[in-house]
Amino acid sequence: MRLALFQPDIPQNLGAALRLGACLSVPVDVIEPCGFPLSDRDMRRAAMDYAERALVKRHRGWADFLASPERAAGRLLLFTTRGAEHFHRFSYRTGDILLFGRESAGVPEDVHAAADARLTIPLAAGARSLNLVTAAAIALAEALRQTDGFPKPAP
């Protein structure tokens, strides 16, 4: 299981995603360019000391990500407000990559087209979207639950 972020705009969200990945032992793929320098102080502050524990793979762009061994290892599951299937009704596999788009614009059509599945988190009427990392945590928790992929507590 992997968490992938497409061109993140907000450093605090990337920091929180790194913390999420570190806490759940899930690698994080960052597909650049980002809307901020990756060394941004706010990102480090948001990740706290978890940034050093996170398994992060940076990709110079979409084509670099598509060509990577990480991408070839599993299905690409795009989480989008335009998703065709509810995330909690989907059957996850251990090698899946959960992809989330830019906070400001989502992902372009070619990214939609490359996805093996487009999933959505159902929201209350009138709600537009969740915070990126809130959505990632909800989706990742369901995927890890289904695949028995949560970290095992230390004895």
- DSSP-derived pairing of the beta strands 56-59 and 85-86: unpaired
Paired residues of 79 in beta bridges: 100, 119
Enclosing domain of residue 121: 2-147
User: Residue 154 falls within a domain, yes or no?
Assistant: no
pLDDT for 155 equals 77
User: Residue 155 falls within a domain, yes or no?
Assistant: no
Rounded to 5 degrees, what are φ and ψ at 37? Answer: -65, 140
User: Residue 153 falls within a domain, yes or no?
Assistant: no
CB burial of 38-68 (b: ≥16 within 10 Å; e: otherwise) equals eebeebbebbeebbeebebeebeebeebeee
What's 102's domain CATH number? 3.40.1280.10
Counted residue by residue, the chain has a size of 155
Give Dmax over CA atoms of the chain in angstroms.
46
pLDDT for 42 equals 67
What's the whole-model pTM score?
Answer: 0.94
- Residue 128 has a CB neighbour count (10 Å cut-off) of 6
User: Residue 40 falls within a domain, yes or no?
Assistant: yes
Based on the structure, what is the number of domains in the chain? 1
pLDDT for 1 equals 97
User: Residue 92 falls within a domain, yes or no?
Assistant: yes
User: Residue 51 falls within a domain, yes or no?
Assistant: yes
pLDDT in tens, the chain (155 residues): 999 999 999 988 999 999 999 999 999 999 999 998 887 666 667 778 887 889 999 999 999 999 999 898 899 999 999 888 999 999 999 999 999 999 999 999 999 999 999 999 999 999 999 999 999 999 999 999 999 999 998 77
Q: Which token pair is 78?
A: 């795009």
Cis, bond preceding 33 (omega within 30 deg of 0)? yes
pLDDT for 40 equals 65
User: Residue 112 falls within a domain, yes or no?
Assistant: yes
